[in-house]
Structure 1
Amino acid sequence: MLDSDVAARRAQEGQALVLGMVLAAALSLALLRYFAAGQVLAAKVRQVHGLDAAAYSGALVQARALNMLAYLNRAQLAHQLAMAHLATLASWALYGGAEAGQVARGNPPAYLIGMLFGADHGRAYLAAAQAAGLEGWAQRDGALGRAHAAHDRQVHDLHTALARNIATTVPEVRMAAVRAVLRAHYPDRPEADLRLSLEHDQWPSLLRRHAPDRGLHDLVQDIAGLYPFLGPRDHTARNTWVVDEHCPALRHQFRRRGATTLDAEGRWQASDTQSFHALRTNRWVGCYYREYAMAWGWIPAQPAAGMDGPYSDAAPEDFSEQDFWRWVASATDWSLLDQRDNPIANSYAVRHRPAWPAGGLGPYHEVATDRPEGVAGFELFLSIDGPEGLAVQARSAAHSYFARPLPRADGLDEAPNLFHPYWMARLAPLSIEALPAREGR
């Protein structure tokens, strides 16, 4: 019995080892599969993180480009306001130079202005003698003329070309940024292994390039209205006593007229005149105003433009050879009792105007009106070869959007625009229509 038991036990030796080997092999296979799955999962997580960073970087490129376009638009507004101020300063320089000449000639005399309209007017007229020579600043090659031309070149040469270049090269620069991030994220892989595609790109439909239009024209005028220096410069003073019994309600007048305006083509013009209108009477025309031009200056919108107010190209430099009223009646259609304008001073301003060429308002970019949401989004799809020969795929979406950092003071919502640099970037949900297509692969 003993020998048989031993023999039976010896016959069963090694069977557990076989089962153990089978179990070890199964466990090893499971471990290998779990290890491979972990490698795939790690590759997937790495890919998603890298692709999200690349998508965000692409959206950041877009946001920076949009903010740069907004700064360029705002810069154009600043240049336009600078040109308005320069035109006004030049008109004043011409005005001051002309008035200095009239003071020196005593036509009219300063004491008469002070007697009729008060000491302040008389002193101001005498002080104009210090403005002699200022008209040189307003010439095309003068300091003001050169500064105006420099601003005009900035708008029509530098800014226009730069804005066009930014708007057209964003897709290329964006993709370069995306690829740069992915190369930095996968330094161990050649770029050819990163099979990347961009889909659902909204950038091409986001922007519209506008030629100078009424909207920009009105915006520039509204902003110019915030500066009193560019506002109307009109003043009328009258003496206090009756001048002539035939027209007891009329008085001698001191008229200052001036304005800075934007013409229909978006070019600035500025005019400034001042005249003493002496009330006279005779038996042929009765009461009338005899104008003595005291100062004049005009910067036209274009060299060949005409002035808005009444003027004559044939106005004589003085009326020593003929009666003022006869010349007006024969050479013009002016009213001798007009109490609004300075037509003789206007005529001299037109005669002595400098030639300042100007291009007017420049083109600009703005958000398309059919894109009120103001979002420039896109999606990235990346496929790389992962562990076990598997293709690891991921998608990511990002967009650039408009958001004010602080609410408006008036409490109103602000539509996305390219005049405020409030564009930012963020990751975005994937487009719903694209998901099934990728899941089926």
Structure 2
Amino acid sequence: MTARVRACAPAAQQGQALVLGMLLAGAAMVVLIRYFAVGQVIGAKARQLHALDAAAYSGALIQARALNMLAYINRAHVGHQLAMAHLVTLGSWASLGGAQAGQWAAGNPPAHLIAMLFGPEHGAAYRAAGKASGFGGLSMPQAELARAYGGHDDVVRNVLNTVQDVIVSGLPEARRQAMQAVLARNYPKHAAGPGGFDLQVDDDNWPGYVQRHSGQGELRSLVQAVTRHYGFLGPRNTTASNNWVVDGRCPGLRHQLRRRGTTELDAQGRWQSIDTQSFHALRSNRWIGCYYREYAMGWGWIPSALTQTIGQPHVDDPPADFAAQDFWRWVKEATDWDITSDSANPLANSRAVSSRRRWQGGGLPTYFDVPAGQYGRPLGFAVRLRQPGPDGLTVTARSAAETFFSRPEARSDGRREQDNLFHPYWQARLADPARAAQPAGGQP
């Protein structure tokens, strides 16, 4: 009996390890399932972060393209102003040629006298002006030049200004749409809803990053700097004199052939150009001594505004001729000109004012640039994306990107260039979300 009980005892304990094994297997299964769920969340998080980085970088690229486009527009402003300066100068030259053709045809003064006093090249140039007959006043060449000038001004005001306004006002929406499009490509089956992905932009320093400036700022300085590279737009002032003594009362004075001309921006940024040429014959009498009797040979003044003034000695209504009164007496009674030692062409200036043809122009346009307080500070923003994840969880990711100014190569003068919207050197990069939109060091 006792032996039988002892024989059955080990058999009664068989299978107890199986219970522990099943418990361990269940626990392992729970851990495995949980690990799998955590892996799914981590995978969804990583995918979401990669997609958000791509979206943020695309948003920064949109910013870079917008700022570079503004830079190209500013440069286009300079190009149009340069073209307008050339056109207005061509206009005054055409008027000069047309008037000179009339004076040559009338022999006032005669071409052979100009050649005798100042050399054959001046006489030949005077005779060649006869080919410019009909270039002044309301002639076809003048009308074509005025139309081209107005076309440039129209592009500046109604095209370029409109485009830059649209770029500045529409950048946040364009950036949002670009990021939404990138997310849609990464999640083609995601039900984004009518408002798109749940994407929130934080730490955005776009408001105030660029500012509108009047044309009297850097744009004016740049236009004037560029025009100095073109001799055609520079001062056109030369004086030729004869070689022999004209009058014993003033042995040091000579007959003069004065060519005067200038192209300039007035205080309001509007173009004007004037060109004149006059023969100043040295005369003398007992009342005023030696003086210069001016014979206007050619003249032309093209203003682009009613309020512009010629800025040189002139009268508004000069006599057609001086048959009824001596030149010097009229000058003394009707003007304040100095005809004894002056270097201007006041009579030719007066004829230019009387025959002026105003072209249509509105002056330098407004433009956008980076204010001084933004130098060295990138245009940055941070984004946060919330999406449904595995097991009903909401997965949130955060990224940041910025647009910065950097020259592709160092300046030849070795100086550091400040951020600006005249050079299209804006680039994009990802940034640390914790430091989004914070100041950064200036780019070399």
* TM-score bracket for the superposition, by shorter chain length: over 0.9
Question: Paired residue for 2:287?
Answer: 284
Q: Give the root-mean-square deviation of aligned CA atoms.
A: 1.9
Aligned length: 434
2: distance between equivalents of 1:133 and 1:2?
A: 145
2: distance between equivalents of 1:138 and 1:222?
A: 33
1: distance between equivalents of 2:383 and 2:247?
A: 88
| Counterpart AA for 1:339 | D
Q: Which deviates more from structure 2 when the two are superposed, residues 17-26 or residues 174-183?
A: 17-26
| Counterpart mapping for 1:10-89 below 5 A | 10-89=11-90
Cα shift at 1:186? 1.3
2: distance between equivalents of 1:374 and 1:105?
A: 68
Q: Say if 2:420 is the partner of 1:417.
A: yes
1: distance between equivalents of 2:8 and 2:290?
A: 155
Question: Paired residue for 1:439?
Answer: none
2: distance between equivalents of 1:393 and 1:339?
A: 81
| Counterpart AA for 2:103 | Q
SS at match of 1:26: helix
- Residue segments in structure 2 that go unaligned for 5+ positions in a row: 438-444
Cα shift at 1:51? 0.6
SS at match of 1:20: helix
Question: Paired residue for 1:95?
Answer: 96
Question: Paired residue for 2:404?
Answer: 401
Q: Say if 2:375 is the partner of 1:372.
A: yes
Question: Paired residue for 2:348?
Answer: 345
Does the 8 A contact of 2:92 with 2:301 survive in 1?
Answer: yes
Cα distance change, pair 116–141 in 1 and its aligned pair in 2 (3 A): closer
SS at match of 1:243: coil
Does the 8 A contact of 2:135 with 2:142 survive in 1?
Answer: no
Cα distance change, pair 304–386 in 1 and its aligned pair in 2 (3 A): closer
| Counterpart AA for 2:170 | T
Q: Say if 2:241 is the partner of 1:238.
A: yes
Q: Say if 2:354 is the partner of 1:360.
A: no
Runs of 4+ with >4 A deviation: 1-6, 136-141
1: distance between equivalents of 2:80 and 2:333?
A: 45
Q: Say if 2:88 is the partner of 1:114.
A: no
Cα distance change, pair 205–249 in 1 and its aligned pair in 2 (3 A): same
1: distance between equivalents of 2:348 and 2:304?
A: 18
TM-score by length of structure 1 reads 0.94
Identity of aligned residues (%): 54
Cα shift at 1:433? 9.5
Measured against aligned partners, the alpha-carbon deviations of 1:337-379 in whole angstroms (never above 9, x if no partner) come to 1331011111111111102121000011011222122411110
Cα shift at 1:308? 0.8
Cα shift at 1:19? 2.3
2: distance between equivalents of 1:14 and 1:351?
A: 123
TM-score by length of structure 2 reads 0.94
Cα shift at 1:73? 0.8
Cα shift at 1:33? 1.3
2: distance between equivalents of 1:422 and 1:399?
A: 14
| Counterpart AA for 1:213 | Q
Q: Quick one: which of 310, 314, 324 aligns to 2:317?
A: 314
Cα distance change, pair 314–379 in 1 and its aligned pair in 2 (3 A): same
Cα shift at 1:426? 0.5
- Residue segments in structure 1 that go unaligned for 5+ positions in a row: 435-441
Does the 8 A contact of 1:137 with 1:145 survive in 2?
Answer: no
Cα shift at 1:54? 0.7
